[in-house]
């Protein structure tokens, strides 16, 4: 059981931390909530104690004999601050310690994850920009806030990322404390996700079982590591990751156009979507009815191979990553087919995973082997898809330093 400290700042988004707390507790973690005095004006201690099953204190004097301002940080496996207000970000950056939470941050030697929430003007103020940069330079993971409705009638960048996203990144840090370095800053990463649909008639289509979870995980992890991310999402019923530009598409040709457009200035393109290999030659304009006779055969034509097109028209230094969802057969194993696909496509990296009932598609967890065109192979054990996303980002970052000179 991991020990997690959940710090809660004094912003209106404090109520959203209740869902994050519930997810952490249901995930089997021992959570101690440390709200600031201001946060208690939004959510009271009774709520935090009922959800966490632990006592709540916001000052250094409660249970002073146990020295909580030192012990909490020392014993924690992870400290999360959500919402992190501009005031808390500033105090943490400057080492101030005037309450239990800021004392805990100074004594913590575990991963620390900040999820900021504030008005746009506060987030974009030079002081906040400098404070966030200071924290990131020290190894603190600071998420970019989401855009949308803020307090009152205001809208803009500054919303707290949604609880499920913060939870997944928190679990990632518990599994891999080094998973979110700020090493993709200044890079533009394009990732496709989901499964394309090729229309047969107004209500039917040819499709696949891809949920888009893996591509969305890559988008969220890459954004947390500093990248500007464009997510081309094909029919994925998932919430937008915070600070990610989402382009929604349906069919393979639409996905192709969106990816090519976004890739024009991209440093990295990850083709995680399950793109249909074929589409109907023609689409019927009305619903096909049963007639009691054998239906007319559906004539198919090949869709363009988007990854191959990207390889052929790549920018200097651009890193291209493919995904191979494979099943073994009489002609070879999953890895055999993955290696053949890497050679055939000509990309830099190929993420190979086995698919089938209960595997990969639609599942929260995944396992894979990352193949490199230099002959390298890296096994990623079964675990949350964010864990594989971090491994993919590791492999990409290692290539970014060499692509320009190698080509």
Q: Which residues are catalytic?
A: 208
Q: How far is CA 172 from the centre of its chain?
A: 10
Which residue is associated with the tokens 């939004």?
42
Q: How far apart are CA 151 and CA 350, in angstroms?
A: 44
Q: What does the H/E/C string look like for the chain?
A: CCEEEEEECCCHHHHHHHHHHHHHHHCCCEEEEEECCCHHHCCCHHHHHHHHCCCCCCCCCCCHHHCHHHHHHHHCCEEEEEEECHHHHHHHHHCCCCCHHHHHHHHCCCCEEEEECCCHHHHCCHHHHHHHHHHHHCCCEECCCEEEECCCCCEEEEECCCHHHHHHHHHHHHHCCCCCCCCCCCCEEEEEEEECCEECCCCCEECCCCCCHHHHHHHHHHHHCCCEEEEEEECCCCCCCCCCEEEEECCHHHHHHHHHHHHCCCCEEEECCECCCEEECCCCCCCCCCCCCCCCCCCEEECCCHHHHHHHCCCCCCEEEEEEEECCECCECHHHHHHHHHHHHCCCEEEEEECECCECCCCCEEEEEEEECCCCEEEEEEEEHHHHHHHHHHHHHHHHHHHHHHC
Q: How far apart are CA 169 and CA 175, in angstroms?
A: 10
For 335, phi and psi rounded to 5 degrees?
A: -70, -35
Query: Measuring CA to CA, which residue among 243, 197, 191 is closest to residue 217?
Result: 191
Query: Measuring CA to CA, which residue among 113, 102, 116 is closest to residue 2?
Result: 113
């Amino acid at each position: 059981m991991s020990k997690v400290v959940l710090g809660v700042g004094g912003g209106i988004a404090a109520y959203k931390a209740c869902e994050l707390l519930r997810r952490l507790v249901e995930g089997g973690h021992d959570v101690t909530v440390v709200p600031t005095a201001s946060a208690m004006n939004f959510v009271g201690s009774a709520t935090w104690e009922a959800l966490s099953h632990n006592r709540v204190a916001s000052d250094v004097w409660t249970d002073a004999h146990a020295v909580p301002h030192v012990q909490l940080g020392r014993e924690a496996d992870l400290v999360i601050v959500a919402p992190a207000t501009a005031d808390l970000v500033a105090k943490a950056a400057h080492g101030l310690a005037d309450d239990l939470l800021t004392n805990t941050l100074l004594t913590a030697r575990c991963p620390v994850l900040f999820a900021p929430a504030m008005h746009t003007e506060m987030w974009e103020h030079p002081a906040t920009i400098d404070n966030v940069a200071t924290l990131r330079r020290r190894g603190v993971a600071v998420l970019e806030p989401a855009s949308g409705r803020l307090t009152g009638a205001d809208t803009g960048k500054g919303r707290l990322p949604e609880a499920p996203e913060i939870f997944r990144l928190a679990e990632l840090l518990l599994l891999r404390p080094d998973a979110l370095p700020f090493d993709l800053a200044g890079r533009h990463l394009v990732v496709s996700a989901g499964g394309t649909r090729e229309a047969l008639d107004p209500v039917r289509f040819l499709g696949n079982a891809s949920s888009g979870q893996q591509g969305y995980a890559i988008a969220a992890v890459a954004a947390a590591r500093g990248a500007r991310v464009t997510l081309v999402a094909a029919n994925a019923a998932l919430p937008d990751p915070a600070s990610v530009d989402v382009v929604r598409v349906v069919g393979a040709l639409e996905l192709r156009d969106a990816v090519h457009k976004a890739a024009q200035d991209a440093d990295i393109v990850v083709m995680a979507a399950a793109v249909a290999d074929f589409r109907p030659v023609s689409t019927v304009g009305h619903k096909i009815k049963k007639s009691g006779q054998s239906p007319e055969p559906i004539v198919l034509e090949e869709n363009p191979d988007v990854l191959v097109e990207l390889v052929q028209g790549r920018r200097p230094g651009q890193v291209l990553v493919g995904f191979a969802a494979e099943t073994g057969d009489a002609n070879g194993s999953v890895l055999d087919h993955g290696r053949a696909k890497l050679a055939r496509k000509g990309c830099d990296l190929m993420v190979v995973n086995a698919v089938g009932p209960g595997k990969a598609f639609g599942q929260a967890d995944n396992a894979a082997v990352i193949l490199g065109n230099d002959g390298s192979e890296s096994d990623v054990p079964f675990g949350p898809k964010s864990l594989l996303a971090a491994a993919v980002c590791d492999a990409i970052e290692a290539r970014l330093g060499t692509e320009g000179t190698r080509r």
